[in-house]
Amino acid sequence: YFELGDIGAVGENFQPYLEYNVEYLWFWVGSLEYTYENAILSAEYTRYFGIFESNLHPIVAHSSLNQEAFYIQLSYRLSDFLQVAAYYSVQYDPESRDGTNTDKYAQNLDNPGDLEAYYSAWMKDTSISLRFDINDYWLIKLEGHFIDGTARVYEALNKDNPYLERYWTLFGAKTTLTF
């Protein structure tokens, strides 16, 4: 934090200890899972709302959270080596699921002002995956995501592109070792 003082971002009395005061927090989850032979069907719905205040404002901003989300997933184990899965998930701004709240979302991106793009009110993700169980302690998973919206994409990580593409794809690979 000394560097922040050197550039004038914080005063002499700056305390580098972060505290969040939770003004209000409401969170609940409902989930289901059904297994039949090699198939698993699962679904979940979540709703959460919270208001948080930081003692380091404006360095760590006050924030609020208001989200609604659900998913449904089907996976099937083809063999001891291979499992396939697909899911569809949605996250909404419950106050404007379609992005038409003109106080918060810009409908015309040619002249948005300080508003977010209308498609940042949701994120709808359709995914397919392949899981390869190499042995009892090592697996590899490949995923493809086809996404509409940017609700879960953080602006702070995309400063050079304030209006991200509405439709985008994500391909991922991961490996897990258990020991």
Convert the pLDDT of each residue in 154-164 to its tens digit: 776 777 776 68
Q: pTM to 2 decimals?
A: 0.77
Per-residue pLDDT, 107: 82
Q: How confident is the model at residue 92 (pLDDT cuts 50, 70, 90)?
A: very high
Question: Which residue(s) pair with 122 in the sheet?
Answer: 92
The average pLDDT across 139-165 equals 84
Q: Residue 40 has which token pair?
A: 């698993």
Per-residue pLDDT, 120: 87
Residue-wise pLDDT tens digits, 24-46: 788 899 999 999 999 999 999 99
β-pairing, 39-54 vs 105-106, is: unpaired
Instruction: Give the rounded percent of residues in the chain with a pLDDT score beyond 90.
Output: 47
